Amino acid sequence: MSNCLTLKKSNCKNCYKCIRNCPVKAIRFSGNQAHIIEDECILCGQCFVVCPQNAKQIVDETEKVKVFIQSGDPVIVSLAPSFVANYDGAGIEAVRKALKKLGFYDIEETAIGATIVKNEYERILNEEERDVIISSCCHSINLLIQKEFPSCLGYLADVVSPMQAHCMDIKKRYPEAKTVFVGPCVAKKDEADHYKGIVDAVLTFEELALWMNEEHVSLEFETDSNEYSRARFFPTTGGVLKTMKENSKYGYVAIDGVENCISVLKDLEKGKIHNCFIEMSACIGSCVGGPVIEKYQHDSSVKDYLEVATYAGAKDFEVNQPEPGELKKFIKYIEHKLPKPSEIEINSALRQMGKFKAADELNCGSCGYNTCREKAIAICQGKAEISMCLPYLKDKAESFSDIMVKNTPNGLIVLNENLEVQQINEAARKIMNIRSATDVLGDQVIRILDPTSFMNVMTSGKDVRDERVYLAEYKRYVEQTIIYDRESHLLVGIMRDVTDEEYEKERKENISRKTIEVADKVVEKQMRIVQEIASLLGETAAETKIALSKLKESITDE
């Protein structure tokens, strides 16, 4: 299979939307990036349609077509009949005028090829003894059967698609011509590449529109009519059947959407359906709901249907019908399946996702797989990662968070904007003598704490950091930090118990105070002693002076 869809890795945001919408789960995730598994992909284009980051790209062949035109060979467009819905009512003549300005030799309707294919279907129903026939117009359905339902290959009409039939007819009439199909489909690029020599290039409506914008070529939105154009119904659900003459031996059923087609193919595998012609389309609404139309300008499938129905004529195109052998297409089984893991491997993967019993398997589909078991198989096959399980990640994150909250020495309390307790850890309960978290969860914080600080933080928007508070009712000192998270609408209170520190501080202050008091008393006593000594010394000195004076006088008298 050609690589028609590519991925812009930088744009992939690990949202799993593509795998959720992929009907055959042909997406592999590695390194948080989505990768298309080419061997399994049926090119329905749903991953391209739903990707919110436009990470999926259709390979553009515009430059290839420009080279064809520059070569001088006649380049003829086979225009898909869904064009009338894509271009809001512009007729084939309006498109022809515009595209000739780009250098195309001519533009024809693929509906001409649809008439050829329809005639071959009628011949098979009338001339061949077949039980069930599935239309082979939609390449995505062909790939679905080739890859997923090989037992139904015998039911698939071995007839070329309208695109191929028309391009073969063009090359008969213009042997030197290059053929370019223009339509809303991704899969047609692969079909053209696989069956070489029929369709030389494929452009989507979007690629053509960008080219026209570059060259400043615009469409004149004018309609035209052609009574011989009934095959213009082909791009609608049941459009093939509308153009066919019914054979009374067969029932006729139109199925659109890959999931619905898968359901019918499963019934076919079980032998539940017989004597039936089944028109299958991968896109809901058929080709008017093609991925390019759906992604860029899909407004209403009803409006698109009415556009096509109004433009279609009542009679068939006049065609030169080829011999049946010329319209044969050999469609073979495409082996792609990865080996299915053993039950031991599947159960091991389930356990890694935290699924230890059946009740753990939520089958929520958030990873993109319908069941946890399907996801486990994909893990074993290297297509998925354990981290894609959102409940597993949530549980893991919550478990880690719980461990952190439970084991931190700081008290944590979380309030909503109504000041109701949402969470409280063991350390906080110990500070406030709360037996169990359930005693306070959901209650107003005023039951256990003064809410003033929390209210001030919420009102002012200014967080409080390391504010020392005395909780009188609990006889505790705490350093309090209060944070208001506006995005989550939560108030988080963090309390560090500093009671022991505060008591130790008080003890040290008491010791210091007492030490000072003792020192003061010692100084006071020393001063008193000094004063007493001084007093005694003063008296002694006076007595000595008197005695010495008397001695002096006595000596003098003699």
* Claim to verify: residue 223 and residue 124 sit in the same structural domain: yes
Q: In the prediction, which pLDDT does 558 show?
A: 56
User: Where does a domain end: 407, 424, 446?
Assistant: 407
Q: Token pair for residue 506? A: 């008080």
Residue with tokens 């249907």: 305
What values do phi and psi take at 327, rounded to 5?
A: -100, 5
Q: In the prediction, which pLDDT does 359 show?
A: 82
Going from the C-alpha of 14 to that of each of 187, 362, 499, the distances in angstroms are 25, 21, 49
Q: Is the Cβ–Cβ distance between 169 and 112 less than 8 Å?
A: yes
Give the N- to C-terminal CA distance of the chain in Å, as an integer. 152
Distance CA 106, CA 74 (A): 8
* Claim to verify: residue 169 and residue 305 sit in the same structural domain: yes
* Claim to verify: residue 554 and residue 448 sit in the same structural domain: no
* Claim to verify: residue 269 and residue 418 sit in the same structural domain: no
* Claim to verify: residue 440 and residue 312 sit in the same structural domain: no
Q: Which of 212, 196, 228 is nearest to 109 (CA)?
A: 228
Distance CA 299, CA 279 (A): 24
Count of domains for the chain? 4
* Claim to verify: residue 438 and residue 484 sit in the same structural domain: yes
Which residue positions in the chain have pLDDT lower than 70? 1-2, 10, 294-295, 297-300, 391-402, 541, 544-545, 547-549, 551-552, 554, 556-558
pTM of the model: 0.72
2 lies in some domain: no
518 lies in some domain: yes
* Claim to verify: residue 381 and residue 484 sit in the same structural domain: no
37 lies in some domain: no
Q: Is the backbone of residue 201 left (phi > 0), alpha (psi -120 to 50) or beta?
A: beta
Q: Token pair for residue 270? A: 């079980």
Q: In the prediction, which pLDDT does 294 show?
A: 65
Q: Is the Cβ–Cβ distance between 197 and 164 less than 8 Å?
A: no
Residues 295-304: contacts with CB under 8 Å, at least 24 apart: 295/48, 295/49, 296/205, 296/206, 297/86, 303/85, 304/82, 304/85, 304/236
* Claim to verify: residue 237 and residue 302 sit in the same structural domain: yes
Q: Give the domain range for residue 420.
A: 408-497
User: Where does a domain end: 327, 362, 392?
Assistant: 327
What values do phi and psi take at 319, rounded to 5?
A: -130, 160
Q: In the prediction, which pLDDT does 375 show?
A: 87
7 lies in some domain: no
41 lies in some domain: no
Question: In a 3-state reduction of DSSP, which class is residue 87?
Answer: coil
Q: In the prediction, which pLDDT does 142 show?
A: 97
> Which amino acid appears at position 234 of this protein?
F
List, for residues 161-176, the tens digit of each pLDDT value: 999 999 999 999 999 9
Adjacent-strand bridge partners of 490: 416, 485
36 lies in some domain: no
Distance CA 420, CA 13 (A): 36
Distance CA 501, CA 497 (A): 9
Going from the C-alpha of 419 to that of each of 83, 262, 423, 438, 456, the distances in angstroms are 61, 54, 12, 16, 12
44 lies in some domain: no
Q: In the prediction, which pLDDT does 354 show?
A: 81
* Claim to verify: residue 301 and residue 419 sit in the same structural domain: no
Going from the C-alpha of 480 to that of each of 70, 246, 411, 412, 494, the distances in angstroms are 78, 84, 9, 10, 6
Q: What is the DSSP string of 414-480?
A: EEETT-BEEEE-HHHHHHTT-S-GGGTTTSBGGGTS--HHHHHHHHH---EEEEEEEETTTTEEEEE
Q: Residue 252: in which H helix or E strand, if any?
A: strand 251-256
Distance CA 265, CA 284 (A): 17
User: Where does a domain end: 376, 407, 438?
Assistant: 407
Residues contacting residue 105 through CB under 8 Å, at least 6 positions apart:
74, 75, 76, 174, 177
Q: Is the Cβ–Cβ distance between 144 and 26 less than 8 Å?
A: no
Q: Token pair for residue 408? A: 């931190």
- 451: domain CATH number is 3.30.450.20
Q: Residue 274: in which H helix or E strand, if any?
A: none
> Which amino acid appears at position 4 of this protein?
C
Q: Is the Cβ–Cβ distance between 190 and 139 less than 8 Å?
A: yes
Q: In the prediction, which pLDDT does 402 show?
A: 67
31 lies in some domain: no
* Claim to verify: residue 184 and residue 268 sit in the same structural domain: yes
* Claim to verify: residue 380 and residue 524 sit in the same structural domain: no
- 385: domain CATH number is 1.10.15
* Claim to verify: residue 318 and residue 354 sit in the same structural domain: no
Q: Is the Cβ–Cβ distance between 42 and 96 less than 8 Å?
A: no
Q: In the prediction, which pLDDT does 399 show?
A: 60
